[in-house]
């Protein structure tokens, strides 16, 4: 087996629940993770608890300023506890009050954060001061001021407590396949840095109004306040930047000064009507926090969209993220990506039936290409059952349904990785460098962004 595959074979087994999933060994009370949820205004907080985990005590503590702040979280937990198949048994002990932060950090040992992204770095700092590990939804910071604080925390001499952000995209089978094929340099020739244009491109479209776990998602009004939530350039982009580092520099420390160069960045807004806002939040009026975003027509101008172009270790990359109000064609959130290797191009996009798939497009006529592709896929023993079918000039990789996990299920896989790091009582240096390099890039992109009225090519 090639060395590049050994580096993440074990991780891939974890992702698919085949080697390091939920431990069934008995744990003493001292060993158990005791969760503390602080102001969980984003539904990702609940997804961390979608499934039981033998490493986590079923009793969790919740702290928020009001019941309304945590209503969506409580609803999801109740849904998970009461479902027929694989029900959870979480017992939520809640405290609500203006002084919730005075009490929140005095109990438990792992703080889960998913909500106000502006205050998140403050909550992280307070957690660490009290000796609590942090398991936080992205983004950890949304501006350069927040980044400076994060840098101080991650570069301090102390190795504990841990800060770990929830990077779910590493656990998608399609990304595992792309990473494997790109790094099989005998087959791919390596990433192509020489042609004009970007060697790697990410494009994603998201929606404010959507269903989660089979129910309409009720978003907090805060979600539309980019001063708290963060703009498009500093939010979803973190996933795709992380994928670039993970695919091209897995388990290697990133050097901010040598490896990364921001080329350009842009920002633009999505118009949200009052009717859209009410459907999304259940609120008939805009709260005062959104007054600065209100247009003369009475709509909201939400700067949820962004595009940045950067160079990573000589590889030109572009990342674009856009938020629409609602998926009118019912296709939901959409994603596409391109990876330009020397011998072929990889594309992640929907197939003719709408299923997200990986396509391999050879650059030259090669009678042996299909056999070489089959051999490369066959060496991925941690991804059994992969097959290919030719569609015109491309080969579509057929992935067994058993290897597909939903976005929601990826959270359990990230949690397993956090548990392993916590057992080791340390975060690897490369993970720390990924976080610093990722948030440095996003916050610099926002600080230097050009405001436009549409997406420029």
- String of DSSP letters for 52-119: --TTB-SEEEEEESSTGGGHHHHHHHHHHHH-SSS----EEEEEESTTHHHHHTTS-SEEEE-S-TTT
pLDDT value at residue 454: 61
Q: Could you tell me which of 40, 121, 46, 51 has the C-alpha nearest to residue 87?
A: 51
pLDDT exceeds cutoff 80 at 423: yes
Strands ordered across the beta sheet of 387-391: 387-391, 394-398, 356-362, 344-350, 334-340, 200-209, 315-326, 300-312, 260-272, 450-451
Q: How far apart are CA 229 and CA 393, in angstroms?
A: 43
Q: Return the higher-pLDDT residue of 277 and 29.
A: 277
SS3 152: helix
| Mean pLDDT calculated for residue range 47-57 | 95
Q: How far apart are CA 347 and CA 181, in angstroms?
A: 12
pLDDT value at residue 456: 45
Q: Return the higher-pLDDT residue of 155 and 93.
A: 93
pLDDT digits over 220-246, tens only? 898 999 999 999 999 999 999 999 999
Q: What DSSP assignment string belongs to 346-361?
A: EEEEE-TTS-EEEEEE
Q: Which domains are delineated in the chain? A: 32-165 (3.40.50.720), 170-407+439-451 (3.30.360.10)
pLDDT value at residue 238: 97
| Mean pLDDT calculated for residue range 263-285 | 96
Contact 117, 229 (CB under 8 A): yes
Contact 2, 184 (CB under 8 A): yes
pLDDT exceeds cutoff 60 at 18: no
Residue 437 sits at the vertex; the CA angle it makes with 344 and 144, to the nearest 5 degrees, is: 130
Q: What is the percent of the chain with per-residue pLDDT over 70, rounded to a whole number?
A: 92
The burial class, CB within 10 Å (0-12 / 13-18 / 19+), for 365 is exposed
pLDDT exceeds cutoff 50 at 380: yes
pLDDT value at residue 328: 80
pTM of the model: 0.89
pLDDT value at residue 389: 95
| Mean pLDDT calculated for residue range 396-420 | 93
Long-range contacts of 82-86 (CB under 8 A, 24+ apart): 86/51, 86/52
pLDDT exceeds cutoff 50 at 24: no
Residues in the chain: 457
Instruction: Kindly give the pairing relationship between strand 163-165 and strand 344-350.
Output: unpaired
Q: How far apart are CA 127 and CA 106, in angstroms?
A: 9
Q: How far apart are CA 300 and CA 270, in angstroms?
A: 8
pLDDT exceeds cutoff 90 at 392: no
Give the number of C-alpha atoms closer than 13 A to the C-alpha of residue 52, restricted to the C-beta side. 13
Q: How far apart are CA 178 and CA 181, in angstroms?
A: 5
Q: How far apart are CA 252 and CA 177, in angstroms?
A: 20
pLDDT value at residue 158: 66
Kindly report the three-state secondary structure assignment for every residue of 270-338. EEECHHHHHHHHCCCCCCHHHHHHECCCCCEEEEEEEEEEEEECCEEEEEEEEEEEECCCCCCCEEEEE
| Cα distances (angstroms) measured from residue 294 to each of 229, 234, 281 | 16, 22, 16
Which residues are CB-contacts of 239 (< 8 A; sequence separation ≥ 6)?
Answer: 138, 167, 168, 169
Of 7-16, 107-116, 216-225, the poorest mean pLDDT is in 7-16
**With bands split at pLDDT 50, 70 and 90, how would you rate the model's confidence at 175?**
very high
**With bands split at pLDDT 50, 70 and 90, how would you rate the model's confidence at 14?**
very low
Mean pLDDT over each residue of the chain, to the nearest integer: 91
| Mean pLDDT calculated for residue range 432-457 | 90
pLDDT value at residue 330: 77
SS3 36: strand
């Amino acid at each position: 087996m090639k060395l590049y595959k050994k580096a993440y074979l074990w991780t891939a087994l974890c992702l698919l629940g085949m080697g390091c999933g939920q431990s069934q060994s008995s744990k003493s009370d001292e060993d158990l993770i005791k969760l503390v949820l602080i102001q969980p205004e984003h539904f990702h907080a609940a997804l961390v608890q979608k499934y039981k985990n033998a490493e986590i005590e079923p009793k969790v503590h919740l702290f928020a300023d009001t019941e309304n702040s945590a209503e969506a979280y409580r609803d999801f937990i109740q849904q998970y506890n009461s479902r027929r198949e694989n029900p959870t048994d979480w017992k939520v002990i809640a405290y609500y009050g203006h002084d919730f932060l005075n009490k929140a950090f005095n109990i438990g040992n792992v703080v889960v954060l998913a909500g106000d992204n502006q205050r998140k770095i403050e909550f992280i700092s307070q957690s660490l001061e009290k000796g609590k590990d942090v398991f936080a939804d992205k983004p950890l910071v949304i501006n350069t001021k927040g980044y400076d604080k994060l840098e101080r925390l991650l570069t301090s001499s102390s190795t504990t407590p841990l800060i770990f952000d929830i990077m779910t995209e590493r656990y998608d089978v399609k990304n595992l396949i792309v990473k494997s094929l790109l790094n099989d340099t005998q087959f791919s020739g390596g990433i192509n840095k020489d042609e004009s244009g970007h060697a790697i491109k990410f494009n994603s479209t998201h929606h404010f109004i959507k269903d989660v776990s089979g129910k309409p998602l009720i978003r907090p009004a805060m979600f539309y306040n980019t001063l708290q939530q963060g703009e498009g350039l500093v939010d979803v982009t973190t996933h795709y930047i992380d994928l670039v580092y993970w695919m091209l520099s897995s388990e290697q420390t990133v050097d901010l000064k040598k490896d990364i160069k921001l080329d350009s960045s842009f920002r633009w807004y999505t118009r949200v009507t009052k009717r859209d806002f009410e459907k999304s939040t259940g609120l008939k009026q805009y709260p005062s926090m959104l007054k600065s975003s209100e247009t003369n027509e009475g709509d909201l101008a939400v700067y949820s969209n962004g595009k940045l172009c950067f160079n990573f270790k000589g590889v030109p990359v572009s990342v674009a993220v856009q938020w629409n109000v609602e998926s009118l064609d019912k296709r939901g959130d959409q994603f596409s990506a391109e990876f330009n290797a020397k011998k072929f191009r990889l594309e992640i996009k929907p197939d003719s039936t709408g299923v997200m798939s990986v396509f391999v497009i050879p650059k030259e006529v090669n009678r042996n290409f299909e056999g070489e592709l089959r051999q490369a896929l066959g060496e991925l023993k941690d991804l059994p059952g992969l097959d290919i079918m030719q569609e015109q000039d491309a080969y579509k990789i057929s992935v067994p349904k058993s290897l597909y996990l939903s976005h929601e299920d990826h959270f359990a896989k990230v949690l397993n990785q956090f548990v392993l790091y916590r057992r080791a009582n340390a975060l690897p240096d490369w993970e720390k460098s990924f976080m610093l390099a990722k948030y440095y890039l996003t916050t610099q992109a926002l600080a230097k962004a050009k405001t436009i009225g549409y997406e420029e090519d």
